[in-house]
Amino acid sequence: MTEWWSYRPSDFLMYSPRVYLRQIEIYNNALWPLQLVMLLVGIGLVWLLLRSRQNDGRIVAIVLAALWLFVGWDYLWSRLSSINWAATYAACGFAVQAILMIVVHVMPSKSRAPLLNGISGPVVAAVAVLLYPGLSLIAGRGLGTSEVFGIMPDPTAIATIGFLASMRQRYDFVLFVIPTLWCIISSATLYAMVDTTWWIPLAMCVLGIAATFA
Amino acid sequence: MADNRRQSHALWPGDTMMSPRYSINRRGALALMVGAGALVGFSNQSSAQVSSLLTKPIPSSGEMLPVVGLGSWITFNVGDDGELQDECASVMRAFFAAGGRLIDSSPMYGSAQQTIGYGLDKLSRPKALFSADKVWISDPGAGREQIAQSQELWGIPKFHLLQVHNLLSWEAHLQTLFEMKAAGQLNYVGITTSEGRRHAEIEDIMASQPIDFVQISYNVLDREVEDRILPLALERKIAVIVNRPFRQGDLIADTADQPLPDWISETGAKNWAQLMLTFIISHPAVTCAIPATSNVSHVQENMNAATGAFMEPALRKRTIDYVESL
């Protein structure tokens, strides 16, 4: 990219906030009441983490992998890509994340119990599951544009970072890459749209990573 | 405005870079432009609806173009949202009804090409359309395939103008476009940049390649192109399309609360958007400005800027001084 330093986040924003938010609202309407199911799934995953029995980590990883595939396909590939061609690449990244979750946490034959690495990780995950949907109200966008775990990328990525912070294993660092990149992209997008909550995905990501080392 | 129209003088007197094509008196120029504007009116509308638009010739052919076109960056990227597609079609209807012709898009603009195709279908394929699109793909061998896809999205058999978007793989794509033009698959070839990037390369291409159009960013505050690119366009008889005339709306937002200059009536403009557009289209090298909007009243406002008169250099200077003082 020539003269890359002259580009600003807004130069990469190829749709208006109105179009973006309407798309989320239409997507939410199409999936309703799956949001309620996902809320329960998210609560269940947090509970599994806190319970921390043998194979709970595997169950969490399988469910997360499925959700990364679902969000990547149903939102990024099938919806967002119609206004942002780069979303197709992001969708591929989400599929890669799903595969990595399986490879790192499910495929190893030796069963390992998730070592609960403090309470910080589950707290980050719980915030993404329970509180993130309310962000749209704080931002003045209305409930129709709520971003729900397992439906939209931001809370899914943040919750995953929280889960990963709870389940540190040998190759976990690889699993942080794509969720972190997504949070950076999301914050940059919201910043370009002059959304007052632009810093939240990035801040939650940093908190989640910090929880890993807590 | 009326006073300006009565004056008889060259379009930009004293401009040494002026091409002979522009060395006609004011009355003659306006008569030519108004007449041509009427001729290129929206064929599917009654002629009574078509305003008399200012037009300028494409230097390489003499074909007249209304000086205000329609961009599609961001505004027409509405995905599969039927309600928003209809809004964009309404914008296109208002554009053609006002006598507009040139619509510009790119494969880079998300679903904008698809939206334009939808609008053209809804408007029964207006014959006045001057279709301007771009080739934007890094693989030098994939240009023709991408162009074919773009034509399909627009629903047209061929483009009037194809431009190499942001100079991406420009050597190979220009060659493809020149071949298409020679084969009658295309009328005009161009290159584009935006926001002041790669101007040195733009100049080199303008000086060395037989292009018909160059598309650049230019507005009352971003005037770097006045130094070399616009004079070169006059010298090489290259038509100039101006993108980002309002800095993607920032200029209008920044001046919205500011008082209009008390001499605005001398420009023919009635608001900030028209003042800024009139400033741009009054440069003798500029053929057409392409503001993008998804708002019908805004497109009507923009098209009205092409129904006034061109600004004199002194008035353009006054406009710069005033806007910079805000």
A3 touches chain B (CB under 8 A): yes
Report the CATH number that the domain containing residue B69 is assigned in CATH. Answer: 3.20.20.100
pLDDT at B19 over 80: no
pLDDT at B14 over 50: no
* Selected residue with higher pLDDT from A18 and B23: A18
d(CA A52, CA A55) in angstroms, rounded, equals 8
pLDDT at B38 over 70: no
10-residue stretch averages of pLDDT, chain A, 214 residues long: 65 91 96 97 93 84 96 97 96 97 80 65 93 90 93 97 81 89 96 93 93 77
pLDDT at A3: 60
A152 DSSP β-pair partners: A149
Determine the residue among A5, A10, A14, A23 to mutate to test chain B binding: the one whose Cβ has the most chain B Cβ atoms within 10 Å: A14
Q: What length does chain B have? A: 326
Counting residues of chain B whose pLDDT is more than 90, the rounded percentage is 71
- Copy the structure tokens of residue A9: 């986040």
Say if CB A87 and CB A76 are below 8 A apart.
Answer: yes
Nearest CA in chain B to A27: B81
Q: B-side interface with A, Cβ within 8 Å?
A: 73-75, 77-81, 84, 108-111, 195-198, 248, 294
The interface predicted TM-score (ipTM) is: 0.88
Q: Is B217 left (phi over 0), alpha (psi -120 to 50) or beta?
A: beta
A8 touches chain B (CB under 8 A): no
Nearest to A83 among B111, B248, B294 (CB): B111
pLDDT at B269: 85
Give the pLDDT band (50/70/90) at residue B31: very low
pLDDT at A111: 56
The mean pLDDT of chain B is: 85
pLDDT at B147 over 50: yes
* Selected residue with higher pLDDT from A110 and B213: B213
Residue-wise pLDDT for B223-243, tens only, equals 999 999 999 999 999 999 999
| Per-domain boundaries in chain A | 14-108+115-212
pLDDT at B26: 40
The DSSP 8-state label assigned to residue B204 in this structure reads H
Alpha carbon distance, N-terminus to C-terminus of chain A: 39
Nearest chain A Cα distance for residue B318, angstroms: 29
Q: A128-134: which pairs have CB atoms within 8 A and are 24 or more residues apart?
A: A128/A42, A128/A155, A128/A156, A128/A158, A128/A159, A128/A162, A128/A204, A129/A39, A129/A42, A129/A43, A129/A45, A129/A46, A129/A155, A129/A159, A130/A39, A130/A42, A130/A43, A132/A158, A133/A35, A133/A39
Rounded average pLDDT over B195-220: 93
Contacts of B248 in chain A (CB under 8 A): 10
Say if CB B202 and CB B177 are below 8 A apart.
Answer: no
Nearest chain A Cα distance for residue B75, angstroms: 7
Q: Give the number of other CB atoms < 10 A from CB of residue B168.
A: 19
Q: Determine the distance from the C-alpha atom of residue B180 to the mean position of all C-alpha atoms in its chain, rounded to a whole number.
A: 23
d(CA B123, CA B105) in angstroms, rounded, equals 18
pLDDT at A4: 63
Would you call B313 exposed, middle or buried from its count of C-beta atoms within 10 A (0-12, 13-18, 19+)? middle
Containing structural domain, residue B102: 2-325
